[in-house]
Each structure stands twice: as C-alpha cells, then as structure tokens.
Amino acid sequence: MQTQIISVDFHKDKLQLIDKDNEPMVQMKPIVENMELDWSTQRRKLAADKEKWGMVIMTIPSQGGDQETVCLPIRKIASWLMTISPNKVAPELRDKITLYQNECDDVLWEHWSKSGKNTGALQIQMVAPREPAPQAVGNSSIRLKMRDILTMQQQCRDRMREIEKTESPAIRAGLFEQLRFIADQIGHDVPDINHFAFPKPAPLPLPVEPVKQKPAPKPWQPVSVNQFWDIVRQLEESGIPLNHSRLAHRIAINLPEVAELAEQHKLRMPDMAVLRKSIKDSKDPAFIEATDVSSILRKKPVKCHVFDAQGYSLKN
C-alpha cells in the first residue's frame, strides 16, 4: 500500500503526517529539530521505551530514495512534548518549546481530520489508575474517539500550567491528583510533582522617589521693600546686628540706622520717603507695627518697625 504523507504548516515550520493503516503518525525528527533540540538524544529516549511511545520506524520516499524515519502516533505527541521542561533548556528556546507544547498536537489533528483520514475511533490500552474507580479495576481496554483523547490531553496541559501557577502545596497536590487521573485514562505518564516549577515571585516595587515640593512663590511686595530687605541681609552677613527685638519670633528694625549703615557701606538704599510709606506693605517678613522697642542692642527704647520673624534669622 502506498504511503500518504501530509505536509503541515506550523508557525513557519514544516511538519509531516503519515497515514499508517488509517492511523495518523507524526515524523519526529522535524519536530525535534524545529525546537532546536538534539535529535540523537530524543531518538534514544524514544527507542528506550518504544511500546510506551508507540514508536515505529517507517520507510518513506525522498529525493534520494526511500529512507527510514521515526514516527509516533498523534495521540502520543502531547505526552512526549510534556517530558521536555522549558525551565531546563536555554532561555532562547523556551518560547518555541512552549508553543509546540500548547498547539502542536491540535494543529496536527486538525489537518488529519480535514484530510478525510479520521476513522472516528482508535483502540487503545489504558493504564489502570493508581486508585482504581469501583467500576474499573485493573487494566482495561476501551474505545475512545480521537477527539476525546485530544480533549483529555488538553486537560492534562491545563492542569500542568495551573500547578506551575500555584504556590499553595495543598492546592498543587490536588491539581496533581487530577492530572494523574486524567493521564491514566489515556495511558500517559506524568512527571513527579517535584518536576513542576513554582511561580516566580513578583518583582519588588521600585522605590518611589519623594515628590519634590516646589517652594511656595514669595508674596508680592513693593520693589522698595525688596531693596530694603536685600540691604538688611547684606549688612547682617557682614556681621552688623540690626534686630533690636528681644523676642525670637520678632524682627525690630530702625530705618534711619539701616540708611546710615547702607551709606557707609556704599549700598543703594531706596528713597526714605517712599520706603516709609511702602514698608507697611512688607509681606516677607510681614509688617506688624511701628512702635518703641526695648532694644537688646542699645539697652534702651528705640523707634522700630516690627515684623514677624517667620523664615528669618537675623542676629541680635
């Protein structure tokens, strides 16, 4: 009987389906090499347990003549793919392997079904569950439709993914028991529970830099007042005390004294007549009153303009 080969496109890769007595077989070497795995290693693994994998060596035509190729039934592909742990291969191969694990068998079966070669049912030998159900004790032989097999294979993959997303040991154990039971129904082996990785811990949040508060804008005050306070600061920085107040929260300044010192130090003082009118509009520091102050500098009362000392630290 002539061998029929069906070429399958899979994400820019080429796979080969082969009809063997109306059962779909998959050529294994292209799959292994498409995932960039070592074919000789995978062939030894399959050959070590041919019955488990349903491995057969078929002769197919090629441009160089007939050649032998290793094949597995479609129903075994998902189980074999799950023996490859993405966590144990090079990082650049993980996405490709995961893609094959999630989609390969479904795509192959869809192409086989469309080719008109689906017989509807396959005779398979079941492996007895580890805890046999009352109605099925020991090994039994039943007929399952291929679509049922693929559905159960998908359920196995779903349980595997759920296990690796779960941190709770109790929940992982429960999911693993479900996985074993489903796998037993279709004669598939599953890795030990310790094979499954735990979810990666969430990355620690990056430290948030404190928002720098913009300094509040200074309140508006007349230009002559700003000039006056600039002169007061310059004189204070020169070591000349000007604050006559004995109170830490007050600034008491004698205007004629500041004008005289400004002239001595060649500092440009605003016009005194203008300053006397505008000084009451001082907001920074805020003007309080004009009054006699018991001077801490002269030890006697001095006529001063008094201001709130908030934000200022003039020397006494």
pLDDT of residue 224: 92
Q: What is the rounded distance in angstroms from the CA atom of residue 127 to the CA atom of residue 117? A: 27
In which residue are the tokens 């007895």 written?
128
Residue 157 pLDDT > 80:
yes
Between 141 and 94, the more confident residue is 94
Q: What is the rounded distance in angstroms from the CA atom of residue 28 to the CA atom of residue 37? A: 12
- In DSSP terms, 302 is beta-bridged to 293
In which residue are the tokens 């070592």 written?
38
Give the alpha-carbon dihedral of 134, 140, 146, 151, to 10 degrees: 30
Q: How confident is the model at residue 130 (pLDDT cuts 50, 70, 90)?
A: very low
Q: Verify cis geometry, omega within 30 degrees of 0, for the bond prior to 285.
A: yes
In which residue are the tokens 């489903």 written?
182
Q: What is the rounded distance in angstroms from the CA atom of residue 16 to the CA atom of residue 280? A: 96
Query: If DSSP codes are grouped into helix, strand and coil, which group holds residue 267?
Result: coil
Percent of the chain residues past pLDDT 90, beyond the cut: 31
Residue 206 pLDDT > 70:
yes
Query: If DSSP codes are grouped into helix, strand and coil, which group holds residue 23?
Result: strand
Q: What is the rounded distance in angstroms from the CA atom of residue 276 to the CA atom of residue 272? A: 6
- In DSSP terms, 142 is beta-bridged to 124
Query: If DSSP codes are grouped into helix, strand and coil, which group holds residue 152?
Result: helix
Looking at residues 60-70, what average pLDDT do you find?
78
Residue 2 pLDDT > 60:
no
**What CA–CA distances, in Å, run from 271 to 234, 255, 275?**
18, 11, 6
Looking at residues 23-44, what average pLDDT do you find?
90
Looking at residues 55-78, what average pLDDT do you find?
83
**If we measure between CA atoms, which residue out of 235, 236, 238, 232 comes closest to residue 307?**
232
**What CA–CA distances, in Å, run from 303 to 20, 123, 244, 300?**
116, 115, 10, 10
pLDDT of residue 312: 67
Q: What is the rounded distance in angstroms from the CA atom of residue 41 to the CA atom of residue 235? A: 89
Domain boundaries, the chain: 5-129+141-195, 223-308
Segment holding 119, helix H or strand E: none
pLDDT tens digits for 231-280?
999 998 989 999 999 988 999 999 999 999 999 999 999 999 999 999 99
Q: What is the rounded distance in angstroms from the CA atom of residue 156 to the CA atom of residue 283? A: 77
23 phi, psi to nearest 5 deg: -115, 130
Residue 316 pLDDT > 50:
no
